[in-house]
């Protein structure tokens, strides 16, 4: 018996990296998962990995910034699994530049994926959540649901060259604390997990084989200068970056029954680094 048996979890950006690790962690505790990615193939890989754990999953492939995505995402969960219990707004990417070189397109893209996309998903889920909570209360049932918004240490403290990314991730903190106040009456715990340096393709050392993410019709370079990575490891009290599995563990904490009286909080998973 897992602690999330019977729960339905929606995880954006769960085809690879941290998102995939989150999906697998929730599934390992019994949750059924709605997987999302831009790439159908990698979304399918996560679905297969969930099924190998003995749980169930379905893919909702597409761009989270599409205006109809939130409704489609929620409808996928309800039509396949009958409900919504956990929403993890994880999808995101950095598109960096110092302010004098940052275009409107870059800045707006960061707000669109890190702020507007989670807003639309949560708004789309509101009708189901409110209706279900009222019915459960009338039946004398106590059911808790979870929202975990993924922010960043850059969203809490800023980071040079990441004006748009930091703005979008910071906005998620305000959204988290506001929704915690709005949805507390429905037994929904709304929290935020902010990551520090986690080892993914976004934080691989820059080199000749630099990773490039295809975001719609844009090719966005991934990676961090090796000297910066060395400096980060020296600043982190634990002496290293975290793994996707460790990042997923922090998200799971906020999804577990032990978090039923925790809401409106920001958990910093950074190995002790506080900028």
Q: Which of 93, 144, 157, 165 is catalytic?
A: 165
> Is the confidence at residue 1, as pLDDT, over 60?
yes
Is the confidence at residue 208, as pLDDT, over 60? no
Is 165 labeled as catalytic in the residue annotation?
A: yes
Summarize the confidence of residues 236-263 as an average pLDDT.
97
Domain boundaries, the chain: 8-196+244-269
pLDDT at 214: 67
pTM score, whole prediction:
0.94
What's the topology of domain 8-196+244-269? Rossmann fold (3.40.50)
For residue range 12-36, what is the model confidence (pLDDT) as tens digits? 999 999 999 999 999 999 999 999 9
Mean pLDDT value across the chain? 94
The pLDDT tens digits of the residues spanning 68-98 come to 999 999 999 999 999 999 999 999 999 999 9
Minimal CA–CA distance to 214: which of 68, 12, 42?
A: 42
Say if residue 33 is exposed, middle or buried (CB neighbours under 10 Å; 0-12, 13-18, 19+): buried
Residues 75 and 51 sit within 8 Å (Cβ to Cβ): no
């Amino acid at each position: 018996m897992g602690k999330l048996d019977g729960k339905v979890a929606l995880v954006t950006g769960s085809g690879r990296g941290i998102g995939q690790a989150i999906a697998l962690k929730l599934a390992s505790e019994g949750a059924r998962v709605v997987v999302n990615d831009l790439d159908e193939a990698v979304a399918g890989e996560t679905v297969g990995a969930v099924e190998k754990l003995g749980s169930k999953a379905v893919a909702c492939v597409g761009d989270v910034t599409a205006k109809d995505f939130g409704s489609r995402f929620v409808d996928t969960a309800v039509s396949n699994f009958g409900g919504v219990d956990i929403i993890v707004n994880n999808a995101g990417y950095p598109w960096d530049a110092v302010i004098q070189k940052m275009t409107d397109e870059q800045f707006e893209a960061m707000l669109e994926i890190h702020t507007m996309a989670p807003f639309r998903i949560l708004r789309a889920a509101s009708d189901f959540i409110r209706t279900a909570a009222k019915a459960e209360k009338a039946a004398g049932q106590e059911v808790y649901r979870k929202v975990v918004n993924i922010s960043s240490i850059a969203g809490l403290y800023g980071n040079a060259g990441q004006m748009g990314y930091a703005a979008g991730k910071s906005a998620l903190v305000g959204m988290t604390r506001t929704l915690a106040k709005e949805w507390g009456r429905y037994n929904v715990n709304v929290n935020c997990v902010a990551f520090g340096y986690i080892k993914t393709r976004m934080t691989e050392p820059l080199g000749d084989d630099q990773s490039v993410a295809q975001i719609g019709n844009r090719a966005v370079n991934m990676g961090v200068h090796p000297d910066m990575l060395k400096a980060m490891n020296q600043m982190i009290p634990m002496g290293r970056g975290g793994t996707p599995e460790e990042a997923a563990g922090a998200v799971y904490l906020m999804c577990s029954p032990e978090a039923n009286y925790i809401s409106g909080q920001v958990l910093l998973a950074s190995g002790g680094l506080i900028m």
